[in-house]
Structure 1
Amino acid sequence: MRLSRRSLVDAAAARLGWRRTYSTPAQIDALLSKQAKTAYRDAANHAALATAKHDTALAVQPGVLDVRGRVLADVVYLEGVLAGTRARSLPAELIRRLEDVVGHGHELALLLADTVRATAPVHANSSVEAASDV
């Protein structure tokens, strides 16, 4: 029953915008492990669905655009967190780690944008040819 109660408390807190904190390395490691298991639990199903669904480069585009939007939104959020850690003079290692994450996040957003661009070159060329035929 305790697990159900904890899940209910976590769900209610999340709806209110509250986040739970973890104060021990064991708690943090357990959460990180749970996140990884959740992410990879259905990896085989995702691969099978993606193989069936993404039969053209253009079919890949919406999913990559969605991921880029979420990554960019999260990176901008983390920029705010970084600004707050600097303003409060929180530990230097935390600030350095956040700087790294923000930098890598921006790099990931750029890579995803390049990937989106790579989904449409055939269509872009055919539009140019069609315009030149007019």
Structure 2
Amino acid sequence: MSLARRTLMEAAAARFGQRRAYGDTTAVDALLTEQTETAYAEATGHAALATAENSDALAVQPGVLAVRGRVLADVLYLEGVLAGARTRRLAPELIARLEDAVGLGHDLAVLLADTVRATAAAPAASTS
């Protein structure tokens, strides 16, 4: 089943509070590979669009700001997942991986915020 079809089916199931979980690493690895392949296949179009639209620092700002918003929302969701994992005393390795992901996510959100600030500062610096 294609990733797009699976994603649509999973999104529909999630609307009813259901999510699919994979019980073996082979299935997880296949899903991760498919996600990666799909993302890279779509990246060419994204890169072309971003290159065409981002003619100056202020043109970069909306896209970076949107990415930061999505990253921050996802990191805050992961914090909830981490809190639940700790509360339920799930595997220490899982908790450690979630802690790493949350930490890196917050770092990425900070870096993206700094990037957005740089887009606002760049026009001011070029006029000085």
Q: Could you say which TM-score interval applies, normalised by the shorter chain?
A: 0.7 to 0.9
1-structure distance, mates of 2:102, 2:91: 17
Secondary structure of 2:21's counterpart equals coil
The gaps in structure 1 that reach 5 residues or longer are 130-134
2-structure distance, mates of 1:110, 1:122: 18
- Is contact 2:57-2:122 (8 Å) kept? no
Secondary structure of 1:119's counterpart equals helix
**CA RMSD across the alignment:** 2.3
Offset of residue 52 of structure 1: 0.9
Matched, 1:49 2:84: no
The 5-angstrom pairing of residues 36-115 of structure 1 reads: 36-115=36-115
TM-score by length of 1: 0.83
- Is contact 2:61-2:116 (8 Å) kept? yes
Q: 1:11 to 1:85 in 2, by over 3 A?
A: closer
1-structure distance, mates of 2:77, 2:10: 21
Report the count of equivalent residues. 125
Point out the structure with max Rg over C-alpha: 1
Poorly superposed stretches of 4+, deviation over 4 Å: 6-9, 122-126
1-structure distance, mates of 2:48, 2:75: 30
Offset of residue 47 of structure 1: 1.6
Partner in structure 1 of residue 14 of structure 2: 14
